[in-house]
Amino acid sequence: MPGLLYIVATPIGNLEDITFRAVRVLKEADVIACEDTREALKLLNTHGIKKELISYYQPKERQRLALLMNKLICGKTVALISDSGTPAISDPGFRLVREALAAGVRVVPVPGPSAVTAALCASGLSTHRFLFLGFPPPKKTAARKKISVLREEEGTLIFYVPVRNAAEFMRIVRDELGNRKVVIARELTKFHEEFIRGTVDDVLAAVEQRNLKGEATILIEGKGK
């Protein structure tokens, strides 16, 4: 009989942001698939969890898929986590979920933290409709093309962007969408959590004056009615 695949959301920063259910599932799983075993161990050690870990990250995703599927087909329970947040949301997981479903394996979500919803609910921008777009293309031309087709979208636009690229991204947004309201949410749930709010010009000026690191969630006001 096929096993069970849990998709387990884990903290995006503050290790206290994990559900009782997530801890229980991780303790009961036969195997935990994770992006970076070092990051996974920080969380697991905090909660006294010792399990077999299988690294399942972007460059090795296809290679590790067969190993995980073999365990699932043999009746094992696999818990998939990412370095932070909800797996398969701009993180590895989609292929595993698809293959598991095709093989008749039950896939169970264990909901929890997500940078998208955390940033959106505190952004001050409209939450009635939003469009999550993940990471923009690394090349300027492709990024510009992707953003230009969003001019008529009325919902809040949400991207994940490395902070080192935030200024360049803001310039593209201004050129293609105009000087709209935007929010940069960074270090969410951590000690240095910060929201930079204002028009594109305001936020661009603030970002250019600082040497910020890491990744940020950038939210852009949708087109007004």
User: Could you say which of 66, 81, 110 is where a domain stops?
Assistant: 110
Domain membership flag for residue 50: yes
85 or 63, which is more confident? Answer: 85
Residue 16 and residue 86 in one domain:
yes
Tell me, what's the pLDDT at 124? 97
Residue 51 and residue 139 in one domain:
no
Residue 104 and residue 120 in one domain:
no
Residue 101 and residue 124 in one domain:
no
Domain membership flag for residue 172: yes
Tokens (6 digits) for 125 = 């921008």
Tell me, what's the pLDDT at 176? 96
Look at residue 95 and tell me whether its pLDDT is greater than 70.
yes
CA-atom Rg of the chain in angstroms: 19
CATH of the domain at 62: 3.40.1010.10
User: Could you say which of 110, 138, 153 is where a domain stops?
Assistant: 110
Tell me, what's the pLDDT at 225? 60
Residue 165 and residue 94 in one domain:
no
* pLDDT band for position 212 (cuts 50, 70, 90): confident
What is the distance, to the nearest Å, from the Cα of residue 100 to the centroid of all Cα atoms in its chain?
21
Residue 55 and residue 22 in one domain:
yes
End-to-end Cα distance, the chain:
53
Residue 79 and residue 129 in one domain:
no
Tell me, what's the pLDDT at 209? 86
The one-letter code for the residue type at 143 is: A
CATH of the domain at 187: 3.30.950.10
Residue 8 and residue 103 in one domain:
yes
The answer to whether the beta carbons of residues 32 and 6 sit under 8 Å apart is no
* pLDDT band for position 96 (cuts 50, 70, 90): very high
Domain membership flag for residue 225: no
Q: Of the spans 53-62, 179-188, 205-214, which averages the highest pLDDT?
A: 179-188
User: Could you say which of 86, 110, 134 is where a domain stops?
Assistant: 110
Residue linked to tokens 């309201």? 181
In percent, how much of the chain has pLDDT > 70? 100
Question: pLDDT (tens digit, 9 = 90+) per residue, 3-54?
Answer: 999 999 999 999 999 999 999 999 999 999 999 999 999 999 999 999 999 9
The pTM of this model reads 0.91
Tell me, what's the pLDDT at 91? 85
User: According to the 3-state scheme, what is the secondary structure of the chain?
Assistant: CCCEEEEECECCCCCCCCCHHHHHHHHHCCEEEECCHHHHHHHHHHCCCCCEEEECCHHHHHHHHHHHHHHHHCCCEEEECCCCECCCCCCCCHHHHHHHHHCCCEEEEECCCCHHHHHHHCCCCCCCCEEECCCCCCCHHHHHHHHHCCCCCCCEEEEEEEHHHHHHHHHHHHHHHCCCEEEEEECCCCCCCEEEEEEHHHHHHHHHCCCCCCEEEEEECCCCC
Full residue range of the structural domain in which residue 73 is found:
4-110
Domain membership flag for residue 202: yes
| Total domains, the chain | 2
Distance CA 25, CA 135 (A): 30
Residue 87 and residue 177 in one domain:
no
Question: pLDDT (tens digit, 9 = 90+) per residue, 124-167?
Answer: 999 999 999 999 999 999 999 999 999 999 999 999 999 999 99
Average pLDDT, the chain: 94
Distance CA 130, CA 39 (A): 30
Domain membership flag for residue 28: yes
Domain membership flag for residue 131: yes
Tell me, what's the pLDDT at 83? 92
Tokens (6 digits) for 199 = 């028009």
